[in-house]
Amino acid sequence: MNAPDRHLPLAAFTARAWDERILPQLVDYIAVPAKSPMFDPDWQAHGYIDRVVRDAAAWVEGRRLPGLKLEVVRLAGRTPVIFFELPATKTGSSETVLFYGHLDKQPEFNGWRRDLGPWTPKIENGLLYGRGGADDGYAVYAAITALEALAAQGLPHPRCVGLIESGEESGSPDLPAYIDALRDRLGAVGLVVCLDSGAGNYDQLWLTNSLRGMAGGVLKVEILDEGVHSGDSSGVVPSSFRILRQVLDRLEDSKTGRLLPANFHCEIPPAFAAQVRATAAILGEQAWKPFPWVCGGDGTPALPTTTDPVEALLNRTWRPTLSVTGADGFPPLQSAGNVLRPYTAFKLSLRLPPLVDAAAACRELKALLEDNAPYNARVTFHGEGSARGWAAPETAPWLAQAVDAASRAFYGAPAAAIGQGGTIPLMSMLAAGFPRAQMMVCGVLGPKSNAHGPNEFLHIDYAKKLTAAVAQVVAAAP
């Protein structure tokens, strides 16, 4: 049996499990609008989060892995978590592997293809469309299947536990309480397998080596108590929108997108800068090209901020960026009369470099936006929380070798590393609580998978291979 052939049983097991057991479960999962509490304040009454948690727990218990124990843990007033544990079968193993994922979802968004929708799952050309399948409903099913694959092949593994939450898309506000409550049961975590991240392409195994932090909230500018006739008032009453633009100019250079406060930036460690250059060499123009660019009036695509792949990767991983993700105070276009509106409000999402203190940035952001309001307008910023970013610790030789071997075995290409522009609050929590743990942060969100947006999909073949790769790495853990 040659070197690749010895991996065939794991690959065959996970591929069959995906076809026969995981995909039908994910189809049912996608159909449930289990929106995160930030987007569904009445989540308890609606029961959708409880349903997907119960369904996942029942599926796991139905797998009948020898020694597997599962509990749905509920702290009063908080979203539930699934906690499972499986005893070690590897002799002499003293550390624990922690699997992480989540079951809550982002809201619907608009712009879905006519034959697709957030709650109408569809499999087409090897892709599973629908909200939450890739971010991150598949995680618990892939984790258990990886452990099943090891058991089926008689491959020993360390003690394994799983923490599957249901509030990640709201910034994981309940997670610290659960980590405290379960700390003794988590054990000595030596490896974290986080399945909530992405991939630079679908051709190899990608590990995430950094995550940005986040600070967000609502900026509101009020200038009148009620709307007034724009012909009568404009030129005397300043536009709340114009004032808001002035306030945002304190934060962002509107021509370049660069954030102005120095404290929102950080030095990029040389090791991470080198990894960015290596990743840019792999991806080339795919570092920016896969986004769904609109065509301009001349029929050519809109341009990115940069076409240099190194700069593109740095911009989305190690540099702060402001996005306006919502607005209030505007009537719909069809009912927008000649009225000077009394206020304008923007929802701001500020992505921060991995090493920036997000809580301090949120405080500075509030002071920067509220102080010395133009025209003595009422300017308020209500923060909606912050989450610190994360930078991976130095990879242990055993993990680097195991990840690369798994990538070559199941993808036929070497492993690679990439920073992600999103935030996974758990990672900074675990880094603080388990500073010696190794981190395998990975996922199925590759090019055009479009988590949080329209036409989100899960790349089925990549997910099958990822599940087998995770199994092999876990088997290699000390």
- Give the length of the chain: 478
- What is the CB neighbour count within 10 angstroms for residue 303? 10
The dihedral through the CA atoms of 156, 205, 429, 79 has a sign that is negative
- Measure the CA–CA gap between 290 and 448, rounded to whole angstroms: 6
Of 2, 5, 4, 11, which is closest to residue 149 (Cα–Cα)? Answer: 11
Please give the Cα distance from 135 to 450 (Å, whole number): 10
- Cβ-Cβ contacts under 8 Å for 267 (sequence gap 6 or more): 355
CA 39 – CA 368 distance, rounded (Å): 27
For the chain, the first-to-last Cα distance in angstroms comes to 26
Dist. CA 434–CA 432, nearest whole Å:
6
The one-letter code for the residue type at 368 is L
Give domain 4-211+389-476's CATH superfamily: Zn peptidases (3.40.630.10)
d(CA 178, CA 433): 13
Is residue 102 within 8 Å of 167, Cβ to Cβ?
yes
How confident is the model at residue 7, as a pLDDT?
Answer: 65
Q: Residue 91, by phi and psi: left (phi above 0), alpha (psi -120 to 50) or beta?
A: beta
Question: What are the residue ranges in the chain where pLDDT is below 50?
Answer: 1-6
- Assigned CATH class of 213-268+317-387: alpha beta
- For 331-353, write each residue's pLDDT tens digit: 999 999 999 999 999 999 999 99
How far apart are alpha carbons 136 and 134 in whole angstroms?
A: 5
Strands (E), 224-272: 228-229
The answer for residues whose C-beta is within 8 angstroms of residue 117's C-beta and 6 or more apart is 108, 130
Quick one: angle between helices 460-476 and 397-410, nearest 10? 140
351: its two tokens: 């992505």
DSSP 3-state of 454: coil
The Cα 458–Cα 25 span in angstroms is 14
Phi, psi of 82 (to 5 degrees): -95, 130
Quote the radius of gyration of the chain (alpha carbons, Å). Answer: 24
Q: Are 166 and 79 in contact (CB under 8 A)?
A: yes
Beginning with the edge strand found earlier in the chain, give each strand of the sheet holding 159-165 in spatial order: 69-73, 81-86, 159-165, 96-102, 189-194, 438-441
DSSP per-residue string spanning 199-237: -S-SSS-EEEEEE-EEEEEEEEEE--SS-EEHHHHBTTB
> Looking at residue 136, what DSSP letter applies?
I
- Please, are residues 212 and 386 in contact by the beta-carbon 8 Å criterion? no
Strands, E assignment, 298-401: 321-328, 339-340, 343-352, 378-387, 390-391
Same fold for the pair 4-211+389-476 and 213-268+317-387? no
pLDDT at res. 153: 95
Write the CA distances from 142 to 162, 343, 403, integer angstroms.
11, 47, 17
**CA–CA separation, 221 and 228 (whole Å):** 16
Question: How many helices (H) and strands (E) would you count in the chain?
Answer: 14, 18
Task: Give the tokens for residue 271.
Answer: 């090791």
Domain residue ranges of the chain, discontinuous segments joined by +: 4-211+389-476, 213-268+317-387
Amino acid at 73: V
**What Cα–Cα distance (Å) separates residue 164 from each residue in 83, 128, 240?**
7, 21, 43
Write down the pTM of the prediction: 0.92
Are 243 and 379 within 8 A, CB to CB?
A: yes
